[in-house]
Amino acid sequence: MSNSTTDDSLITTEVQADSNDDRAAPAAGTAVAARNLDVFYGDEQAIDDVTMEIPEKRVTALIGPSGCGKSTFLRCINRMNDMIEICRVEGDVEFGGKNVYDDDVDPVALRRKIGMVFQKPNPFPKSIRDNVAYGLKIQDFDGDVDQRVEESLKGAALWDEVKDQLDSSGLELSGGQQQRLCIARAIAPDPEVILMDEPTSALDPVAASKIEDLIDDLAEEYTVIIVTHNMQQAARISDRTAVFLTGGELVEYDDTAKIFEDPEEQRVEDYITGKFG
Ligand SMILES: Nc1ncnc2c1ncn2[C@@H]1O[C@H](COP(=O)(O)OP(=O)(O)OP(=O)(O)O)[C@@H](O)[C@H]1O
């Protein structure tokens, strides 16, 4: 695991800066690690004994056919599955040297460190400024809110388009702009990890392409973990790719080039060449 955080820091410390990060070089450390993770919905098993280490400040793509457990795995990382009553998680998800399922972890504090962006842009019916500032208010942020809003909108490549209309409703933006607003909202609390569940699938190709470019930029500062159905997208934007297959099995996990050019597993080759799924 990375040494950048300790147990207590899950709740208290800021993101560690690493301005010299070079994505061609090996990652500095592990951001998130699943260890023997099993997830059940009632009697149905959705994730089956998954162990994987996700590198920090890289883009990791989770791919696989519908229903193989990609979203379930993603939601385990910041305990969004807690909201689903019949969901049961066994095994560990380590973040900052700590199992996020330990009794003393505060899920709300965890979600500030591990933000999330969903398939459908879901801005609140509030102003652009208030959408971005939302997470700051919850955490009693005592810095300059307007400055953080501006930084977050710049970080989400939206500032230039909205800087003169910060008091307009977030719902008045286009779909692609709304998704970038949601990304700004996710990065405002200064997370370490951003989870993205098919963030471009509801967008037109131009808007989707802007988000892809943005993901590339975000990986300079954050660890990005993205579920995508779009294999070209995974190949374009990710450094590492994890292939899940039916039953929640992690079949292969490697550098993205290796997965797409020379996978070890026949089942993975069949999947990425479109023989099934
Ligand atoms: N809230 C839920 N309640 C019950 N079962 C669920 C729930 N969410 C997911 N499942 C089941 O868990 C399994 C994995 O679902 P999940 O959505 O994680 O897969 P996925 O790979 O993300 O699928 P997709 O690509 O279609 O979004 C499926 O069998 C699904 O029916």
Q: How many domains does the chain have?
A: 1
Ligand 1 centroid–CA 205 distance in Å is 26
Mutate to test the pocket of ligand 1, among 63, 72, 118, 196 (most ligand atoms within 8 A of CB): 72
Does residue 17 belong to any structural domain of this protein? no
- Read off the pTM: 0.90
Does residue 192 belong to any structural domain of this protein? yes
Helices and strands per DSSP (H, E), number in the chain: 11, 10
Which residues, in sequence order, are CB contacts of 87 under 8 Å at separation 6+?
A: 39, 40, 41, 72, 81
Does residue 9 belong to any structural domain of this protein? no
Tokens describing residue 112? 């500030």
Mutate to test the pocket of ligand 1, among 39, 48, 62, 68 (most ligand atoms within 8 A of CB): 68
Does residue 126 belong to any structural domain of this protein? yes
pLDDT of residue 8: 46
pLDDT of residue 277: 63
Mutate to test the pocket of ligand 1, among 37, 41, 50, 89 (most ligand atoms within 8 A of CB): 41
pLDDT of residue 141: 85
pLDDT of residue 28: 79
Does residue 21 belong to any structural domain of this protein? no
CATH number of domain containing 170: 3.40.50.300
Range of the domain at 222: 54-77+106-241+253-263
Q: Average pLDDT for consecutive 10-residue bins of the chain (277 residues)? A: 42 32 74 98 97 97 96 97 95 95 94 94 96 86 93 96 98 96 95 97 93 95 96 96 96 97 95 82
State the ipTM, two decimals. 0.98
| Ligand 1 contact via 250 beta carbon (within 6 Å) | no
Does residue 257 belong to any structural domain of this protein? yes
Does residue 276 belong to any structural domain of this protein? no
| Ligand 1 contact via 40 beta carbon (within 6 Å) | no
Rounded to 5°, angle at Cα 20 from 147 and 11 = 55
Does residue 41 belong to any structural domain of this protein? no
pLDDT of residue 22: 58
